[in-house]
Amino acid sequence: TTQQPIQQQDKIQQHRIFAYGDSLTAGTTLDKDNGNELPLCPYAPILELALHQQHRRRNNNCKDDAHDVLVRHRGLPGWTSQQMVDDLDGPNTGLRTAIVNAKNQTAAVVASSSALPTQQQQQPPPPPLSIVILLAGTNDIGYGLLDSEEIFENLWTLHQTCLDLGVPKTIAVGIPPSGYQAVNK
């Protein structure tokens, strides 16, 4: 038998990334001179832009990439990893709540669009979460509240919560560059 060449997929694979963490995820900065908080500069929009640009380069400057990746975030300034674990089901701040809401949003869009005639099904449903980026533990260290084993256990719980809810991948990150750093060198 002869093998047929692999056809390029008609649709761009979509990815949905959720970044969850402390003030570093929120992009909180402090005005060093006055001790006032400055506008938020989260890394999630910068990551989304970088991924879009990488997609364009890989796909010969394809302009049809508006939905190839979505990066959303929830940053909790001042929160420790212990607070994040204790609040997994919090209505506005909980990691488990955010993941379940993202799954429900995808399911609701699929259900409502399947009831429409085919010609009206223009917008594809958002993809399920592909990756959750977790950035936590810096306040635990900064406040000196927990030892390294307790911080590790909390981080493990956050990652395991994501995996238990069907998120295929999690990433633990250190302190990333922010938009604030880019404009205030």
Which residues, other chains included, contact 74 with Cβ-Cβ below 8 Å and sequence gap of 6+?
18, 19, 20, 25, 26, 93, 98
pLDDT digits (tens, 9 = 90+) for 22-70: 988 998 766 666 767 677 888 899 999 998 888 778 777 666 545 578 8
CA 154, CA 142: separation in Å to the nearest integer? 16
DSSP strand pairing (36-37 vs 131-135): unpaired
Residue 161 has pLDDT above 50, yes or no: yes
Closest among 160, 185, 155 to 173, alpha carbons compared: 155
pLDDT at 14: 78
Whether the CB-CB separation of 89 and 68 falls below 8 Å is answered with no
Question: Is the pLDDT score of 125 beyond 70?
Answer: no
Cα separation, 173 vs 157, in Å, equals 15
> From residue 77, how far is each of 3, 11, 142, 163 by CA, in Å?
55, 38, 13, 24
Residue type, position 168, single letter: P
Percent of all residues in the chain with a pLDDT value above 70, rounded to a whole number = 67
Q: What is the rounded average pLDDT of the residues 96-123?
A: 66
pLDDT of 103 reads: 83
Both tokens assigned to 92:
């506005």
| pLDDT range class, residue 182, cuts 50, 70, 90 | low
Q: 122, exposed or middle or buried, with CB in 10 Å at 0-12, 13-18, 19+? A: exposed
pLDDT beyond 80 at 185: no
Return the minimum-mean-pLDDT range out of 4-8, 42-46, 163-167. Answer: 4-8
CA nearest neighbour of 135 among 45, 10, 27, 11? 27
pLDDT level of residue 18 (50, 70, 90 thresholds): very high
More confident residue, 117 or 62: 62
- C-alpha–C-alpha distance, residues 73 and 48, integer Å: 11
Q: Give me the pLDDT at residue 68, please.
A: 77
What does the alpha-carbon distance between residue 25 and residue 136 come to, in Å, rounded to a whole number? Answer: 9
- The answer to whether the beta carbons of residues 18 and 98 sit under 8 Å apart is yes
